[in-house]
Amino acid sequence: MGGDATVKSPLDDSDVVHDVLGIGFGPSNLALAIAIEEHNASHPEDAALNALFLERQPGFGWHRGMLIDDATMQVSFLKDLVTLRNPTSDYSFLCFLRERGRLIDFLNQKTLFPLRVEFHEYFAWAAARVSHLVSYDQDVVAVEPVRDGEGAADHLRVVCRSTDGTGRTVVRRARNVSVAMGLEPHVPPGIELGQRVWHNSRLLPGTDELARSGAPVRRVVVLGAGQSAAETVDYLHRSFPEAEVCAVFAKYGYTPADDSPFANRIFDPEAVDVYFGAPSEVKQSLFDYHRSTNYSVVDMELIEALYATAYKEKVSGQERLRFLNVSRVREVRRSADDGPLDIAVEYLPTGEQQVLEADLLVLATGYRPRDLSALLGEAAKVCLRDDGDALRVRRDHRVETVPDVTAGIYLQGGTEHTHGLTSTLLSTAAVRAAEIHQSLRNSWARV
């Protein structure tokens, strides 16, 4: 800890060896930045962590494309950036509400689940308070071990390219990196994104652009069966009141999310300990048993609202909302000059296909982990892997490396195989930040 106390611009090449460089600045690394900031504020300078976080976006943003005005969070506001780590922190959601003058108004709602747009506002508020620890417009393109004359590596070289149009390359060094790059949109094989084919991660800007263009929207097809798919169907149905909206999914119907108290214990911090220490076959069974808490499931309230809408339309004889269940998209053909799409939809029980002419296809097909090998580059070669070729990760979220590399690589996400369902979720973000922060302090104490 401590490093070089000389103050330099984050954009300048530097000989400083940071105690930790965060790669990506979403909620996970934001929670870690706050933990470090609170630590530094309560310790003398020689015990402070020298930290910097790198983010490719020009400013903080979290799933901006899905910030539908009436969509709510699916986790309690108490699972914010800090409360499970430090209930007295003034970075909590409740402190944010107090500063915004909305604390009493929020409490009067008698809900644990804020609007998603409000939670994003909270994240941005917290990010602004630690902005001195962040360098935006920085895309990490390489992470390399720095070896001494004997071949040992106690720190890493991190190469960044500016995304602000200058193309400038910046080289930094760190004893540890915390990788929190988030997930990337999943696009099914055989389908290509384009002007008329979106992933729902850009639902709001895409819808705004389409509405402003004045182009007619007669039919929209949404592929997917999870919460974001159902929200997308509902939003497009409201946004284009003259259009037919077709939901396509392989299930018979939307599956309700299991948010019962006992099932939700799979997201408890203690559940991570249980999962981490379990045999591989037990890990798999726990994952399979509790998929319905998070994957391809929908809040019951939204399911009922969509069904009620479809039934009202059937009664009125003006059916705009259609559900093509037990079906999948087989082919997407594009007509010339940005004309409508021809979407072949197969009904799985019979194999019968129908072709829908649509003005838009939205893929609500979820996300997948980013390729860490491509991101880490040379550093990936010193990471150890298990028999299934997955990274070996310790309980403190640190990747196991070859013995001559003592620099730390921490993962916030991409660890479902070792840490369970909470790997990519907000539920344990604050606790995970505390664990990584403590691990960083322990490693420094051994230097």
Mean pLDDT taken over the chain: 92
- DSSP E strand stretches across 402-444: 408-411
Q: Which of 342, 367, 392 is the last residue of a domain?
A: 367
Residues 177 and 57 in one domain: yes
Q: What is the largest CA-CA distance in the chain?
A: 79
Q: Where are the alpha helices (DSSP H) in 74-151?
A: 93-100, 103-108, 116-129
Q: Residue 418 domain-assigned?
A: yes
Number of separate domains in the chain: 3
Average pLDDT over every residue of 324-336: 91
Q: Residue 239 domain-assigned?
A: yes
Q: What pLDDT, on the 0 to 100 scale, is given for residue 338?
A: 72
Contact 406, 154 (CB under 8 A): yes
At 281, list the tokens: 């076959």
Residues 68 and 113 in one domain: yes
Reported as a pLDDT band with limits 50, 70 and 90, residue 334 is confident
Short-list 190, 194, 48, CA closest to 133? 48
For 284-298, the pLDDT digits (tens) are 999 888 877 888 899
Q: Which of 367, 398, 414 is the last residue of a domain?
A: 367
Residues 248 and 396 in one domain: no
Range of the domain at 215: 186-256+295-367
Residues 319 and 396 in one domain: no
At 133, list the tokens: 């620890």
Q: Residue 79 domain-assigned?
A: yes
Residues 170 and 96 in one domain: yes
Write out the DSSP string of 128-146.
HHTGGGEE-SEEEEEEEEE
Total-model pTM:
0.93
Q: What pLDDT, on the 0 to 100 scale, is given for residue 442?
A: 87
Q: Residue 4 domain-assigned?
A: no
At 404, list the tokens: 């001559």
Q: Which of 315, 333, 367 is the last residue of a domain?
A: 367
Choose the weakest-confidence range: 12-16, 229-233, 378-382: 12-16
* Dihedral angle sign, alpha carbons of residues 37, 430, 20, 162: negative
Residues 235 and 359 in one domain: yes
Q: Which residues pair with 329 in a beta bridge?
A: 345
* Dihedral angle sign, alpha carbons of residues 8, 11, 14, 18: positive
What's the CA gap between 413 and 419, in Å, rounded? 9
Q: Residue 205 domain-assigned?
A: yes
Q: Residue 138 domain-assigned?
A: yes
Q: Where are the alpha helices (DSSP H) in 26-182?
A: 27-41, 93-100, 103-108, 116-129
Residues 402 and 280 in one domain: no
Q: Residue 63 domain-assigned?
A: yes
Report the percent of the chain where pLDDT is more than 70: 96
Residues 30 and 105 in one domain: yes
Residue 28 has pLDDT above 70, yes or no: yes
Residues 203 and 348 in one domain: yes
For 88-141, the pLDDT digits (tens) are 999 999 999 999 999 999 999 999 999 999 999 999 999 999 999 999 999 999
Residues 333 and 205 in one domain: yes
CA distances, 43 to each of 2, 29, 39, 270 (Å): 11, 21, 6, 29
Task: Provide the b/e sequence for 164-174 (b: ≥16 CB within 10 Å).
Answer: eeeeeebebbb
Place of tokens 């706050």: 34
Residues 228 and 268 in one domain: no
Residues 38 and 56 in one domain: yes
Short-list 384, 324, 310, CA closest to 352? 324
Residue 12 has pLDDT above 50, yes or no: no
Place of tokens 């001494």: 148
For 217-247, the pLDDT digits (tens) are 999 999 999 999 999 999 999 999 999 999 9
Q: Residue 7 domain-assigned?
A: no
Strands 367-369, 169-174: pairing is: unpaired
Tell me the CATH number at 422: 3.50.50.60
